Structure 1
Amino acid sequence: MKFTWQYQGSEPQSVRTFLKGHGISRTLLKKIKFHGGGLTVADQAVTVRTLLVPGQILAVQLPPEPAPITLTPSKQPLTIVWEDAHFLVVAKPAQVASLPSHVYPRDTMADRVLGYYQRQGYADQGIHIVMRLDRGTSGLMLFAKHAFGHTLLSQQLNDHQLQKTYLALVQGRLAYSHNRITFPIKRAPGSFIERTTAVGGRAALTEYWCQQQFKTAALVKIKLHTGRTHQIRVHFAAIGHPLLGDELYAGPTVVNLMRPALHCVQLRFFHPFLARVISLTAPLPPDLQRLIAQENNYPVK
């Protein structure tokens, strides 16, 4: 992948400073220097100390990205929601992990994307997950196709410019149609997986809007203002409304629901190379559609 920019300043500026202004990090600069990339002006190699003069065009060649040796390409198909040369958005099924672990070492979303890249014959096969989802959560997942794109979107994520919207079914009747949950979150004592709300935890903010109130459950739209592990699940359990099917956080068991009732329904981000906002949606999967239809048979009284 190659990028070019024309320097339009009025005074000479170092390549390092110029590239920093375009979002290229020190880490990426090191990869460019030591792993097969390059910096050129008029087809002549330059270094980060080279001074650019007004009107010069700097070309940045990113290093090649081979397939990660930690992944095993999967033949399972992908549901592609949106794709271009820089980013890939897919609809993740429930019960598929985002990345390999000792519990789920194969056929993760990362493995499936790698398999797709190889079937497509893409030269670069680096896997860059911009936003992951819990294994039980369905919905939109965003991948960058190169390290530069990953850097830029990770910054958007840190600056809360990349927006994710979720739908969830939670237990009980909500006291408020709109509310913000602000309990800090930390790892539960004695567990590597479970989280809990507690003084001394990391700040966390979850905002929700009730979309439909059923007799014993509610459909809520959720916006995350922070990105803590299990944040939605922990916060709703903390206010006495755990997600349906969420065994880890004391959610009620529901027939034919084998995971927490949580779905990433919308994703919105600024595309740094197209200079426009990308807004995408993914419909609710059949298990949650059936659950809502079932709840609708028991109206609020």
Structure 2
Amino acid sequence: MKEQIDLQLGEQSGRIDKVLSQELADYSRSQIQQWLKDERVMVNGTTVKANYKVKTGDQVTIAVPEPTVLELTPENIPLEIVYEDEDVAVVNKPQGMVVHPSAGHPNGTLVNALLFHMQNLSSINDVIRPGIVHRIDKDTSGLLMIAKNDFAHESLAKQLKEKTSLRKYVALVHGVIPHEKGVIDAPIGRSKTDRKMQAVIEEGKPAVTHFQVLERFADFTLVELQLETGRTHQIRVHMKYIGYPLAGDPVYGPKKTLPGKGQFLHAQVLGFEHPRTGEFLTFTAPLPEVFQKTLEKLRK
């Protein structure tokens, strides 16, 4: 069913594409610009272009197109399965792989690979995310738990919610952290200046990250981080917030620092109680080759 959005603008000023991307948090600016190109946006009953300057009280009507239906296809993508039984699996996701399909990434994702390699996956999440209990960013590598049935999914999701599962990351950050360990307790929400970013904001959701220094270099520090909560981009936002952004982070870090493809962040340790046996299982994944080689260079 087609959706229509009706907006009455207050005292906003500037180009309509910019104003609408601030008003409509669920849609990207490029999406809004496409609607303007396709003449789907009317102001006071007339179609306008992206450079239209809004006026106080403008009445905006948008005819939102039908969403593209994403089709899930199993793909024979190599996948490192660290553990698997009838209920759960643990996979080591490579850097650069998206976890599940979206409009920008319809295929080549972890889910497409899982569908090829595994017979059963839980159906609790929507159709696009079978088996996915938690996510890590595209350019973060490391361990993810996969639920192979709904019984396992409910148990694993509950453990994440109650903070009884174990998730430890290793990150390389800019700057030399003077103290050995610390706790960052700062709420995270969508950035008020850039809707594609998360930020520490007063009205954000509670977020807690524990960190411990593993090794110091001339201009960088290797840290181990343990998550108490699982907010979007939590480690990346928190480390930037305390002045030690992740090396290679294209969004929250300084541009062009160390050679690599994205942030140096690896989900190294994963632990959870097995849904059926009750046994606590712990898994560890070595640092990716590019991460190890970068550390070797820094040591020299």
| Displacement of 1:192 | 4.0
Question: Is 2:211 the counterpart of 1:174?
Answer: no
Which residue does the alignment assign to 1:94? 95
Letter in 2 for 1:71: L
Given the superposition, is the C-alpha separation of residues 230 and 163 from structure 1 closer, same or farther in structure 2, using an over 3 Å criterion? Answer: same
Which residue does the alignment assign to 1:259? 262
After superposition, residues 169-248 of structure 1 pair within 5 angstroms as 169-189=172-192, 191-248=194-251
| Displacement of 1:124 | 6.0
Distance 2:223 2:163 in 1: 21
Which residue does the alignment assign to 2:288? 285
Letter in 2 for 1:131: H
Which residue does the alignment assign to 1:162? 165
8 Å CA contact 1:243, 1:252 repeated in 2: no
SS of residue in 2 equivalent to 1:102: coil
Distance 1:209 1:235 in 2: 14
Question: Which shows bigger deviation, 226-235 or 72-81?
Answer: 72-81
User: Residues 35-83 of structure 1, C-alpha deviation per residue, up to 9 Å, x if partnerless?
Assistant: xxxxxxxxxxxxxxxxxxxxxxxxxxxxxxxxx9742211111101001
| Pick aligned residue for 1:131 from 111, 134, 138 | 134
Under a length normalisation based on structure 2, what TM-score does the superposition of the two structures give? Answer: 0.72
Distance 2:186 2:99 in 1: 26
8 Å CA contact 1:72, 1:107 repeated in 2: no
Which residue does the alignment assign to 2:53? none
Which residue does the alignment assign to 1:107? 108
| Displacement of 1:226 | 0.6
| Displacement of 1:102 | 1.5
8 Å CA contact 2:70, 2:106 repeated in 1: no
Q: Which segments of 5 or more consecutive residues in structure 2 lack a partner in the other structure?
A: 1-68, 124-129
SS of residue in 1 equivalent to 2:196: coil
Which residue does the alignment assign to 1:150? 153
SS of residue in 1 equivalent to 2:157: helix
Distance 2:255 2:221 in 1: 13
| Displacement of 1:193 | 2.6
Distance 2:81 2:111 in 1: 14
Distance 2:250 2:182 in 1: 24
Distance 1:110 1:176 in 2: 40
Distance 1:69 1:97 in 2: 15
| Displacement of 1:189 | 2.1
SS of residue in 2 equivalent to 1:249: coil
Distance 2:238 2:143 in 1: 21
